[in-house]
């Protein structure tokens, strides 16, 4: 059985133009979320009210907003203040996902840092570590172990939510599929005058499943092992 | 280049309140239908999973994994653009509640499964000892207790359902986000529209989160208090 001739260019476009967009947004978003989230989640454990309140507001706002609204804020709202803050669609999507993801990570980090027994802090302090050294060398390495499963779940969520880039014109896997689906409905020579939404979007769903499923399994296994 | 930032929130709201209210009502309507549906799907399939009912249990596992591992936007596109090819054409409203209901139902069946599985076996034993049939034991013992255990996580899923209705922007259904975005695209009152969106969604989400905390205390089982 051979595939219809329209499949090859569609699949090629999704993999060469769509997939890199998804991977770029996801990579930036997951690294940014992890770094900013761990820093904020650690800082919020310091008993200094104004700082705690600021971080709490940040976390509650970006966890509370639909990510699509955050995407619109970054892409349409922020440039109103300065034209230099006008970003390319994929950049805006990455920033929005970092705002959302870092709020998630901050909340998880706070829990993980606070779950480290107090003796560990005292032991580190007795060895002469200051606050920074104590957290960098003693507390966070232990907390990060517990954060590994949530980090992988976050990666899965970020990969899936990177599709939101299409709402502002970013080309990622789903947008690539959509533009090819529309192209095929045009008459020749641009398209073939046929509707293939079912095949294309099912293919896109399978592609996302193949990326996500191993990661969710990994997160579940790690969760069991680290519990 | 100098950008003159004008900001008239009140003018924006008073000029567009009818449209915005209509959008909000659509958001609430779609959310309400989806939440009721997700509750039923979750309770039934969660029970099937927890009691390891053959076939249904395995099919539920597949349903949950497919929904969890594919983006909800892809699911919306499949319902709205792909189903018509199979002869099933759904309008924007139906697509909206159906998509978030299917999504919420998957997450909810996991929530309920965990809740039902957390009900200590001795409670069910007590039910049987009282002469309850398995069905009665589920309805009068496992469901009320397991449902209470699952309540906080199910409300979290409902919060996500409400937030996800904003994604109907991609099919042009004029719920709150689409309405605000359409108005701002025409009038260039971007910041005003985004303020309205932020205030409304955060009010909805934060009040439900507060409700979780209240309910957690009120409904906690006596022995876990």
Q: To probe the interface with B, which of A92, A182, A205, A207 has the most B CB atoms within 10 Å? A: A205
Calculate the alpha carbon distances from B110 to B33, B50, B64, B103, B158 in Å. Answer: 20, 9, 8, 12, 13
Please provide the distance, in angstroms rounded to a whole number, between the alpha carbons at the two ends of chain B.
62
Two tokens at A134?
Answer: 């104590």
Calculate the alpha carbon distances from B157 to A201, B7, B103 in Å. Answer: 25, 35, 9
Widest distance between CA atoms in chain A: 77
Number of residue pairs across A and B with CB atoms under 8 Å? 115
Q: What is the pTM of this model?
A: 0.92
| Residue of chain A whose alpha carbon sits nearest to that of B160 | A66
Q: What are phi and psi of B147, to 5 degrees?
A: -60, -40
Q: Answer whether B190 touches A (CB < 8 Å).
A: yes
Query: How much of chain B exceeds pLDDT 90, in percent?
Result: 84
Please tell me the predicted confidence (pLDDT) of residue B107: 97
In chain B, residues with a C-beta closer than 8 Å to the C-beta of A200 are 82
Q: How far is B222 from chain A (nearest CA, A)?
A: 25
Contact B102, B67 (CB under 8 A): yes
Contact A120, A172 (CB under 8 A): no
Query: Which residue reads 């706070």 in tokens?
Result: A110
Average the pLDDT over B88-113 and give the result. 97
Two tokens at B54?
Answer: 């053959």
Please tell me the predicted confidence (pLDDT) of residue A188: 87
Please tell me the predicted confidence (pLDDT) of residue B196: 96
pLDDT band for position B6 (cuts 50, 70, 90): confident
pLDDT band for position B5 (cuts 50, 70, 90): low
Please provide the distance, in angstroms rounded to a whole number, between the alpha carbons at the two ends of chain A.
48
pLDDT(B118) > 60: yes
Please calculate the CA angle B87-B93-B97 and round it to the nearest 5 degrees. Answer: 95
Judged by CB atoms closer than 8 Å, whether chains meet at B201 and A81 is answered as: no
Average the pLDDT over A39-43 and give the result. 95
Average the pLDDT over A205-227 and give the result. 91
Does the interface ipTM go beyond 0.85? Answer: yes
As a whole number, the mean pLDDT across chain A is 94
Q: What are phi and psi of A104, to 5 degrees?
A: -60, -45
């Amino acid at each position: 059985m051979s595939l219809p001739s329209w499949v090859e260019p569609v699949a090629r476009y999704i993999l060469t133009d769509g997939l890199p967009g998804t991977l770029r947004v996801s990579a930036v978003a997951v690294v940014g979320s992890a770094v900013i989230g761990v820093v904020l989640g650690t800082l919020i454990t310091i008993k200094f009210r104004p700082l705690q309140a600021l971080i709490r507001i940040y976390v509650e706002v970006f966890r509370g907003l639909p990510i699509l609204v955050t995407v619109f804020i970054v892409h349409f709202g922020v440039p109103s203040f300065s034209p230099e803050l006008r970003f390319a669609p994929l950049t805006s999507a990455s920033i929005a996902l970092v705002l959302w993801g870092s709020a998630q990570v901050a909340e998880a980090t706070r829990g993980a840092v606070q779950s480290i027994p107090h003796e560990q802090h005292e032991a580190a302090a007795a060895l002469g570590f200051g606050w920074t050294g104590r957290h960098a060398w003693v507390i966070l390495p232990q907390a990060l172990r517990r954060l590994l499963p949530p980090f992988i779940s976050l990666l899965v969520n970020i990969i899936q939510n990177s599709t939101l880039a299409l709402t502002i014109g970013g080309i990622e896997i789903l947008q690539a599929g959509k533009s090819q689906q529309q192209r095929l409905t045009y008459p020749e020579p641009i398209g073939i005058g046929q509707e293939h939404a079912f095949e294309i979007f099912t293919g896109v769903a399978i592609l996302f499943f193949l990326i996500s499923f191993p990661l969710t399994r990994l997160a579940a296994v790690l969760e069991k092992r680290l519990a | 280049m100098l950008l003159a930032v004008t900001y008239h929130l009140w003018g924006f709201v008073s000029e567009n309140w009818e449209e915005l209210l209509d959008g909000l009502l659509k958001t609430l309507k779609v959310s309400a239908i989806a939440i009721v549906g997700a509750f039923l799907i979750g309770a039934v399939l969660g029970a099937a999973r927890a009691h390891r009912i053959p076939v249904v249990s395995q099919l539920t596992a597949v349903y949950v994994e497919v929904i969890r591992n594919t983006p909800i936007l892809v699911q919306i596109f499949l319902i709205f653009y792909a189903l018509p090819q199979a002869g099933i054409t759904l309008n924007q409203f139906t697509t909206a509640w159906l998509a978030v209901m299917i999504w919420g139902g998957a997450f909810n069946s996991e929530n309920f499964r965990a809740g039902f599985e957390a009900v200590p076996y001795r409670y069910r034993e007590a039910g049987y000892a009282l002469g309850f049939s398995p069905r009665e034991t589920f309805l009068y013992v496992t469901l009320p207790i397991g449902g209470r255990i699952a309540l906080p996580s199910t409300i979290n899923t409902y919060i996500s359902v409400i937030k996800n209705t904003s994604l109907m922007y991609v099919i042009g259904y004029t719920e709150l986000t689409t309405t605000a975005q359409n108005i701002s695209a025409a009038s260039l009152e971007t910041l005003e529209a985004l303020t309205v969106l932020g205030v409304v969604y955060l009010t909805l989400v934060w009040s439900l989160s507060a409700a979780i905390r209240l309910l957690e205390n009120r409904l906690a089982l006596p022995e876990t208090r």
